[in-house]
């Protein structure tokens, strides 16, 4: 459903036999303004200047009349008394969202309870229903505890603090941004004909087919999550101010930004320009005691824990429930061996815990990356802070902790998966001025890998451009063979820092053709129209295992994905989730310890469970482009990395 700002007013809705909504009238506006602003002159924070009562009245009346604001009065059913007003404004049709608000008379009976019911009706019945919104946001004054509780009661999720956002009573106030999301979305089906015979569609509706193709040729995605959070950490550890451009603002990066701020760093954020400036302290911490909340961000959880674990201070670390289930033990064991003290509040090896760092008690460490390559990446960045040990003795008398390479801190690696992300970390460290080198040796017929970071290096401040997210781009590239349309994503090239660009090579093996152009990689569908089945090891780009699984049923032979056992320990048990949801759609699968095989078939429309996993939501949405009536539950769990994915999807395909 396209967002229709001219949608009619809602029917009268009764809640608990006490209230209903009706459209606001001319006579209501003065009354409502009296509830909102007792003084005759107010500071309007949209204009950022004082305006009179009459000016504000005219401002509201004009916007209500022109449909820029939809306002409804809350009426007490028993007495027909108007007691409050709720509204939607600041529409963003291209993003299927608007801002909602509420204000009530101070004398309204049980005002907060009625307000909560009214906001719920406004958003779910009118906003999500009649207007077709995907998302409603609300800005609430930070000090207004009652209003915050009201929004949380009806399901709004706190997203971030916005400093100095509202200019009220002659001073700036902080606000908190809340978001309310649809519980499920039906994916706009591009149509079986579009996929089965592009030529016949073009003949039947040449203009529509050409328009669709042109939109797909020029897809843009936000900045890379992996690069954004690594760049924030490296800038934090640098000496001087770094300006990061093309920053991704997502749930994960907001969590990382919040942690950087909690540690006391000077931080300037410009979301409109997608820029962040961080003033680093050359590896020192502005605060040596802090409480950090990493949310569900694995990069924040692992990278910050490693750095703080070798720094001086005491840090309380907490996370979302989802992150509390994800592995941390190998990294925490390594930090304990280096001298950190860790006090767990729950199960050992998991969040939450208090971390007391004491520097580097050793000059080498081993890390098992079987569960996550982020453990190694985190230690590599932290290793730049190491100093050479003062070890004058040699031979058997050499003190513990002086082992390893005399030139630098050494990390010995157990396991091999996710090495593309390790290479990304090493390349970014080098871009910020710190070199680490990989060494390989044979030991009893086994290949052993270590990394040595030479002493005496430091991260330098700089202006840094963040690449577009290859992981996000992969969903659009997967549409190419699925819908038989060419796709080009701006700024995605084969020389990317990101390992997920390899997904395009996998699509080439399945019959697509890729050309790296100045604007970005152009992917063309198979000439014969057939997507080929393959066997592929995806240990280096496992985030795209779900994406490949989603298009696998449309291949001409089974698709077998190997080397992905570790994805059972990510935001969800992804191997189990893929199999369960494909079986729900009527597709046969087989699974093993680290592999899944998907057989060709015709999926049916159904409600897909996402398990709170952003990649399940985005990956399985692809099937809905070919299959009618496929719905995604909790679609906006994708805000973890790509908050605007479904808005972008609807803009491409909704007719």
Report if pTM > 0.85.
yes
Task: Indicate the pairing of strand 463-465 with strand 239-245.
Answer: parallel
Q: How far is CA 494 from the centre of its chain?
A: 23
Where does 93-234 show beta strands of DSSP type E?
97-104, 135-141, 157-168, 171-181, 184-186
- How far apart (Å, rounded) are the C-alpha atoms in residues 358 and 375? 19
Neighbouring residues of 147: CB distance < 8 A, sequence distance ≥ 6: 102, 140, 141
pLDDT at 418: 79
Residues 6 or more apart whose CB falls under 8 angstroms from that of 80 comprise none
pLDDT at 48: 53
pLDDT beyond 80 at 391: no
Residue 193 has pLDDT above 50, yes or no: no
3-state secondary structure at position 173: strand
Contact 21, 72 (CB under 8 A): yes
Q: What is the mean pLDDT of residues 546-574?
A: 96
User: Does residue 41 carry a pLDDT above 60?
Assistant: no
pLDDT at 194 over 70: no
E strands within 113-253? 135-141, 157-168, 171-181, 184-186, 239-245
Distance in angstroms (rounded) separating the CA atoms of residues 526 and 598: 20
Q: Rounded to an integer, what distance in angstroms lies between the CA atom of residue 135 and that of residue 129?
A: 11
How far apart, in whole angstroms, are the C-alpha atoms of residue 596 and residue 568?
12
| Mean pLDDT to the nearest integer, 266-279 | 96
Instruction: Give the per-residue pLDDT at 631.
Output: 98
Q: Are the C-beta atoms of 449 and 475 separated by less than 8 Å? A: no
Beta bridge partners of 278: 242, 267
Q: Which CATH superfamily is domain 225-388+402-465 in?
A: Enolpyruvate transferase domain (3.65.10.10)
- Does 395 score more than 70 pLDDT? no
Per-residue burial over 3-33, b = 16 or more CB atoms within 10 Å of its CB, e = otherwise:
beeebeebeebebeebbbbbebeeebbeebb
Q: Which residues make Cβ contacts (< 8 Å) with residue 469, sequence separation at least 6?
A: 221, 222, 223, 224, 225, 226, 248, 498, 641, 642
Q: What is the structure's pLDDT at 207?
A: 61
pLDDT score at 445: 75
pLDDT band at 39 (very low <50, low <70, confident <90, very high): very low
Residue 191 above 80 pLDDT?
no
Architecture of domain 19-181: 3-Layer(aba) Sandwich (3.40)
What values do phi and psi take at 59, rounded to 5?
Answer: -60, -45
Q: What is the pLDDT of residue 383?
A: 97
Q: Tell me what the mean pLDDT of segment 306-329 comes to.
A: 96
More confident call, 600 vs 11: 600
Q: Which fold has domain 184-222+470-653?
A: UDP-n-acetylglucosamine1-carboxyvinyl-transferase; Chain (3.65.10)
Over range 457-476, report the average pLDDT. Answer: 97
Q: Specify the DSSP element, H or E, that contains 119.
A: helix 111-121
Residue 317 pLDDT grade (very low, low, confident, very high; cuts 50, 70, 90): very high
On the 0-12 / 13-18 / 19+ scale of CB atoms within 10 A, 226 is buried
Averaged pLDDT, 328-342: 97
Q: What is the CA radius of gyration of the chain?
A: 27
Domain coordinates in residue numbering, the chain: 19-181, 184-222+470-653, 225-388+402-465
Given a cut of 90, is residue 385 above it in pLDDT? Answer: yes
Contact assessment for residue 20 and residue 14, using Cβ atoms and an 8 Å cutoff: yes
Q: 56-70, 505-519, 575-589: which range is least confident on average?
A: 56-70
- Specify the higher pLDDT residue, 196 or 415: 415
Tokens of 639: 């805000």
Catalytic residue among 252, 500, 543, 613: 543
* Two domains, one topology: 19-181 and 225-388+402-465: no
- 81-133 pLDDT per residue, tens: 888 889 999 899 989 999 998 888 777 776 667 888 889 888 988 999 889 99
Question: Across 182-237, where does the E strand assignment appear?
Answer: 184-186
Is residue 543 among the annotated active site residues? Answer: yes
CA dist 360 and 336 (Å) reads 10
Percent of the chain with pLDDT over 70: 88
Most confident of 131-135, 398-402, 586-590: 586-590
């Amino acid at each position: 459903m396209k967002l229709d700002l001219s949608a009619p007013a809602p029917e009268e809705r009764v809640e608990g036999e006490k209230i209903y909504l009706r459209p606001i009238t001319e006579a209501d506006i003065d009354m409502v303004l009296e509830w909102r602003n007792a003084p005759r002159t107010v500071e309007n924070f949209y204009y950022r200047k004082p305006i009179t009562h009459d000016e504000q009245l005219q401002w509201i009346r004009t916007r209500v009349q022109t449909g820029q604001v939809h306002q409804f009065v809350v009426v007490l059913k028993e007495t027909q008394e108007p007691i409050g007003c709720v509204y939607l404004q600041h529409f963003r049709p291209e993003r299927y969202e608007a801002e909602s608000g509420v204000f009530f008379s101070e004398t309204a009976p049980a005002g907060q309870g009625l307000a909560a019911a009214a906001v719920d009706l406004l958003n779910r019945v009118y906003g999500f229903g009649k207007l077709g919104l995907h998302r409603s946001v609300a800005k609430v004054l930070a000090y207004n505890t009652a209003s915050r509780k009201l929004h949380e009661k009806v399901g709004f999720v706190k997203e971030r603090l916005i400093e100095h956002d509202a200019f009220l009573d002659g001073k700036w106030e902080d606000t908190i941004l809340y978001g309310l999301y649809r519980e499920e979305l039906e994916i706009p089906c591009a149509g079986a004909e579009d996929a089965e015979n592009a030529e016949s569609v073009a003949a039947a509706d040449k203009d529509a087919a050409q328009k669709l193709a042109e939109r797909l040729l020029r897809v843009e995605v936000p900045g890379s999550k992996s690069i954004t959070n690594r760049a924030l950490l490296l800038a934090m550890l640098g000496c001087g101010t770094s300006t990061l451009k093309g920053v991704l603002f997502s749930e994960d990066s907001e969590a990382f930004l919040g942690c950087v701020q909690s540690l006391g760093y000077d931080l300037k954020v410009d979301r409109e320009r997608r820029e962040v400036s961080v003033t680093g302290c050359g590896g020192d911490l502005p605060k040596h005691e802090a409480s950090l909340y990493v949310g569900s961000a694995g990069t924040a959880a692992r990278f910050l824990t490693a750095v703080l674990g070798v720094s001086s201070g005491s840090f309380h670390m907490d996370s979302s429930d989802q992150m509390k289930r994800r592995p941390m033990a190998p990294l925490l064991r390594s930090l304990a061996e280096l001298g950190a003290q860790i006090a767990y509040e729950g199960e050992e090896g998991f969040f939450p815990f208090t971390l007391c760092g004491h520097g580097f008690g050793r000059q080498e460490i081993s890390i098992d990356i079987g569960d996550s390559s982020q453990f190694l990446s985190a230690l590599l960045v932290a290793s730049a802070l190491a100093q050479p040990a003062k070890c004058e003795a040699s031979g058997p008398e050499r003190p513990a902790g002086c082992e390893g390479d005399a030139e630098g801190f050494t990390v010995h690696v157990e396991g091999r998966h996710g090495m593309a992300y390790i290479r990304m970390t090493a390349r970014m460290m080098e871009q910020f001025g710190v070199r680490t080198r990989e060494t390989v040796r044979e030991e009893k017929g086994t290949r052993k890998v270590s990394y040595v970071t030479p002493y005496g290096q430091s991260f330098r401040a700089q202006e840094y451009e963040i690449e577009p997210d290859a992981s996000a781009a992969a969903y659009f590239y997967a549409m190419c063979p699925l819908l038989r349309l060419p796709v080009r994503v701006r700024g995605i090239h084969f020389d990317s820092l990101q390992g997920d660009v390899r997904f395009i090579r996998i699509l080439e093996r399945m019959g697509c053709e890729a050309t790296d152009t100045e604007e970005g990689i152009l992917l063309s569908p198979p000439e014969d129209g057939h997507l080929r089945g393959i066997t592929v090891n995806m240990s280096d780009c496992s985030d795209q295992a779900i994406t490949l699984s989603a298009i696998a049923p449309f291949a001409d032979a089974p698709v077998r994905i190997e080397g992905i056992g570790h994805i059972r320990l990510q935001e969800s048990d992804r191997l189990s989730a893929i199999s369960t949801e494909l079986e729900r759609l009527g597709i046969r699968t087989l699974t093993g310890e680290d592999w899944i095989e998907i057989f060709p078939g015709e999926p049916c429309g159904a409600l897909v469970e996402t398990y709170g996993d952003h990649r399940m939501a985005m990956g399985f949405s692809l099937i809905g482009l070919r299959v009618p009536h496929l719905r995604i539950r909790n679609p906006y769990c994708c805000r973890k990395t790509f908050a605007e994915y479904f808005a972008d999807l609807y803009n491409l395909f909704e007719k």
